[in-house]
Amino acid sequence: MSVENYTRLVGQQARQASSVMMTATTAQKNAALEHIAQALMANQATLQAENQKDLVAGRDNGLTDAMLDRLALNPERIAGMVEGLRQVAALQDPVGAINGMDYRPSGIQVGKMRVPLGVIGIIYESRPNVTIEAAALCMKSGNAAILRGGSEAIHSNQALAACVQAGLAAAGLPEHAVQVIDKTDRSIVGELIRMPEYVDVLVPRGGKGLIERIANDARVPVIKHLDGICHVYVDVEADLAKAQSIAVNAKTHRYGVCNAMETLLVHSAVAVQLLPLLAQDYAEKGVELRGCAATQAIIDCLPASPEDWDTEYLAPILAIRVVNSMTEAMAHINTHGSHHTDAIVTENYTRARRFLAAVDSSSVMVNASTRFADGFEYGLGAEIGISTDKIHARGPVGLLGLTSEKYVVFGDGHIRQ
Amino acid sequence: MSVENYTRLVGQQARQASSVMMTATTAQKNAALEHIAQALMANQATLQAENQKDLVAGRDNGLTDAMLDRLALNPERIAGMVEGLRQVAALQDPVGAINGMDYRPSGIQVGKMRVPLGVIGIIYESRPNVTIEAAALCMKSGNAAILRGGSEAIHSNQALAACVQAGLAAAGLPEHAVQVIDKTDRSIVGELIRMPEYVDVLVPRGGKGLIERIANDARVPVIKHLDGICHVYVDVEADLAKAQSIAVNAKTHRYGVCNAMETLLVHSAVAVQLLPLLAQDYAEKGVELRGCAATQAIIDCLPASPEDWDTEYLAPILAIRVVNSMTEAMAHINTHGSHHTDAIVTENYTRARRFLAAVDSSSVMVNASTRFADGFEYGLGAEIGISTDKIHARGPVGLLGLTSEKYVVFGDGHIRQ
């Protein structure tokens, strides 16, 4: 079968399965999740043996140690997937909830019902546990899923897919509700992203390059997660103890994550007091500092170049800029940021409100670390990704982001006059 | 200036204006709407003189009478636009509303704030009053707008644009908050739909061909309104008096509208009783009937071809099919419908609930005419269009559909552990 025909067949099967998943009961979906969890536990040996094939091939193909680590399925990671499935089963089922059934002057009663999107395509790279996370979230939200993992994880993903199929079958749900692509042809992605008749939305998970390529070529809506250039602005009326701990936490809690601070903006009136304290903290953590001229006049650091303001380091490097007003800080954030997560540290009520309204980012915070921008921290239970888009869903995307709302109208024989 | 540079300049100006509109107060936005209304009234003579140029050119270019009628700006239509502006001013401002600020175990408080999308591009055909409707909805929802009307309405739209500019200026809002493209080069649309850096979402309003072309070529998210193949299913337990009035209203209230019924599905157990009554009603209204074999056995009508089930007539023509179960009816709707608006007529509670859950359309109704699927009837105040998409917004799109939600986090110096 040609790649095109194969991909279209997968799409048709997903579309058919989605009409069953749309009305599957919460009990059925939770039963399937539990059966998958049990299948993972029962098949640990197989999963590890198949994973071993990927690890051997990966080593032969020159994958780095970090990549091999992400690829590995050890007993702790399998336990983590089992735990994740049970967490998703415990989440409230969003499907079918009806809200705001208000009467209109005509006499009809109108509200909205939460419904699945239909078929979700997920394109991801090495970590095989994404297969289980994505399958669980799509199933619980009543969607069918087409999962396309990296070729380096093909054996692991197929072994995981067998567990998912077994769980779906045991719960009486269609096996095509979750399909894991079993071919490694790169052209499958090209087909998958151009089938709006079979795929309702794409969620690419991986590097910025992959996501930009997909967004550029797709004919299907894409929930994108591009870069995270996050800021903390320390206001003239900041509590400097809070500012210090937030600035340290936002930068140093973890470096390689999208919600880490990349640029610190400090009001000139507090910079002389705050920056030396922070410089000492960052020095202890081994963070390289790159400052504007005003920063360099206060602390010892490298000079920041214009490129620094637009860079997502994902590393122990921090750009620092002294600003003369909150307006200047907000202009910097809206110009150089990536509209991901930005925080203000201030005790001033009016400026906190203004910052919240005027900073155009998916998460805006007052007196809290940017590191909180996360599906688990926000109480979504789990996240399929973090959206830096503006339409449909912004910020961490959980079950609700995989649903939409349709209008429901109740009448009693009402006709339009 | 090249078309590309011109369009990019418009985009840059819109992006800048959107950052001001994002935090404009409700009072400012309402003042601008009222000033535009006053400008329309004060400039009636100019508006009609400019419109006359378009009408003369249209007649020379062979526009049909129907097209010329849509193009005409008479005093009633100007009064209608004034009324529309005041209705939008009276609507609740959605921007800035914060919902669900819940405390999390970490101690942070997390909720969502409603925010404008940014820059909305609207591409539309002949009716010049869309210029005012679209400008009003985009402004009230805190967005900047780029409006591209049809070349046949260029003089009318520029005269309306002058009133909009005057209103924005009088309220102290940026003149680029609403830009009406003043060139007729067709290639401008091609540029506009490929500038994700300046345009956040596109709303094409016009024929299916225009919308499909735009959706196919766009690099910017599109809120699409494709066809409306709407159904009424009369169940075995229908109240036949309700069924009769709903079936007549859904087909004959207006013919050329997307929420008119195009196919009637009747359960075989009630077809013999209902169809002769309906055939008489439709005959009086001059509606041509095209039936399946079972329908033809009951009433005198033309035979329906397979294409009839997939056709949006927008005309006094109705396809009728007799089905043996609700399952068969729902399969027909989900296969042949356009996921726009579908209704069931039944007194049975369980089947009504099942129909609501399993019919995958943007509006699903019980015992009401499909003609109610409309922004005004639903209480949205006004609509920018009706979405047949699944992500972001389904069904009539009002002010809320031109906004999104961002996360807001309140802390007290909280850091992630």
- The shortest CB-CB distance from A19 to any of B334, B361, B371 is to B334
The per-residue pLDDT for B206 is 83
Task: Say how many residues make up chain A.
Answer: 417
CA A42 from chain centre, in angstroms, equals 30
The per-residue pLDDT for A366 is 98
Total domains present in chain B: 2
Following DSSP, what letter does each residue of B173-217 receive, concatenated?
--GGGEEE-----THHHHHHTT-TTT-SEEEEES-HHHHHHHHHH
Sheet containing strand B144-148, strands side by side: B178-180, B144-148, B119-124, B201-205
Q: Is residue A58 part of a domain?
A: yes
pLDDT bracket for residue A224 (50, 70, 90): confident
CA atoms within a 13 Å half-sphere pointing along the CA-CB vector of A358: 23
Question: If contacts are CB pairs under 8 Å, which of residues 106-165 in chain B contact chain A?
Answer: 106, 108, 110, 113, 115, 117-118
Strand partners, B406: B113
Residue B331 sits in the same domain as residue B401: no
A14 to A4, A10, A156, A160: CA distances (angstroms): 15, 6, 22, 18
CB neighbours of A208 closer than 8 A, spacing ≥ 6? A226, A227
Residue A182 sits in the same domain as residue A259: no
B335/A contact by beta carbon, under 8 A: no
Residues of chain B contacting residue A96, judged by C-beta atoms under 8 Å apart: 357
For chain B of 417 residues, list the mean pLDDT of each consecutive stretch of 10: 94 97 97 98 97 97 92 95 96 96 97 97 90 97 97 96 98 97 91 94 89 89 89 98 98 95 98 98 98 98 97 96 98 95 98 97 98 94 87 93 97 97
Residue A261 sits in the same domain as residue A196: no
Residue B246: give its domain's CATH number: 3.40.309.10
Residue A67 sits in the same domain as residue A214: yes
Residue A403 sits in the same domain as residue A333: no
SS3 at position B346: coil
pLDDT bracket for residue A102 (50, 70, 90): very high
* pLDDT, tens only, A175-206: 999 999 998 888 999 999 999 999 999 999 88
CA nearest neighbour of B252 among B243, B266, B242, B262: B262
Quick one: which H or E segment has residue B151? none
B246/A contact by beta carbon, under 8 A: yes
Q: Is residue A386 part of a domain?
A: no
Q: Are B266 and B323 spatial neighbours (Cβ–Cβ below 8 Å)?
A: yes
Q: Is residue B355 part of a domain?
A: yes
Residues of chain B contacting residue A103, judged by C-beta atoms under 8 Å apart: none
Q: Is residue A387 part of a domain?
A: no
Residue A200 sits in the same domain as residue A248: no
The per-residue pLDDT for B385 is 85
Residue B57 sits in the same domain as residue B206: yes
d(CA A151, CA A196): 24
The per-residue pLDDT for A184 is 86
d(CA B374, CA B258): 10
Residues of chain B contacting residue A369, judged by C-beta atoms under 8 Å apart: 411, 414-416
d(CA A36, CA A167): 4
Residue B180 sits in the same domain as residue B258: no
The pLDDT of residue A126 is above 80: no
Token pair recorded at residue B33? 């709407």
What residues make up the domain containing A278?
230-372
Residue A109: give its domain's CATH number: 3.40.605.10
Residue B237 sits in the same domain as residue B348: yes
Q: Is residue A40 part of a domain?
A: yes
pLDDT bracket for residue A125 (50, 70, 90): confident
Q: What are phi and psi of A360, to 5 degrees?
A: -95, 65
A102/B contact by beta carbon, under 8 A: yes
CB neighbours of A234 closer than 8 A, spacing ≥ 6? A240, A243, A247, A264, A265, A266, A267, A270, A274, A345
Following DSSP, what letter does each residue of A273-334 receive, concatenated?
HHHHHHHHHHHHHT-EEEE-HHHHHHS--EEPPGGGGG----SSEEEEEEESSHHHHHHHHH
d(CA B89, CA B31): 8
Beta strand pairing call for B302-303 and B317-323: unpaired
Residue A89 sits in the same domain as residue A113: yes
- The shortest CB-CB distance from B407 to any of A113, A242, A363 is to A363
Residue A206 sits in the same domain as residue A272: no
The reply to whether residue A363 touches residue B413, judged by beta carbons under 8 angstroms, is: no
A243, closest residue in chain B (CA to CA): B413
CA nearest neighbour of B261 among B237, B240, B234: B234
CA nearest neighbour of A368 among B45, B66, B106, B268: B106
Q: Is residue B42 part of a domain?
A: yes
The per-residue pLDDT for A49 is 98
Burial of B66 from C-beta contacts in 10 A (0-12 / 13-18 / 19+): exposed
Residue A25 sits in the same domain as residue A108: yes
Higher pLDDT, A144 or A382: A144
Residue-wise burial string across B42-53, b where 16 or more C-beta atoms lie within 10 A, e elsewhere: ebeeebbebbee
CB neighbours of A10 closer than 8 A, spacing ≥ 6? A146, A179, A181, A198
The reply to whether residue A22 touches residue B216, judged by beta carbons under 8 angstroms, is: no
Q: What are phi and psi of A110, to 5 degrees?
A: -125, 135
d(CA A49, CA A43): 10
Q: Is residue B378 part of a domain?
A: no
Q: Are A335 and A307 spatial neighbours (Cβ–Cβ below 8 Å)?
A: no
* pLDDT, tens only, A277-318: 999 999 999 999 999 999 999 999 999 999 999 999 999 999
The reply to whether residue B415 touches residue A245, judged by beta carbons under 8 angstroms, is: yes
B396 to B143, B378, B379, B387: CA distances (angstroms): 18, 8, 10, 6
The per-residue pLDDT for B66 is 87
B402/A contact by beta carbon, under 8 A: no
CB neighbours of B191 closer than 8 A, spacing ≥ 6? B3, B4, B7, B8
Residues of chain A contacting residue B354, judged by C-beta atoms under 8 Å apart: 23
CB neighbours of A30 closer than 8 A, spacing ≥ 6? A89, A140
Q: Is residue B116 part of a domain?
A: yes
The reply to whether residue B413 touches residue A216, judged by beta carbons under 8 angstroms, is: no
The reply to whether residue A364 touches residue B408, judged by beta carbons under 8 angstroms, is: yes
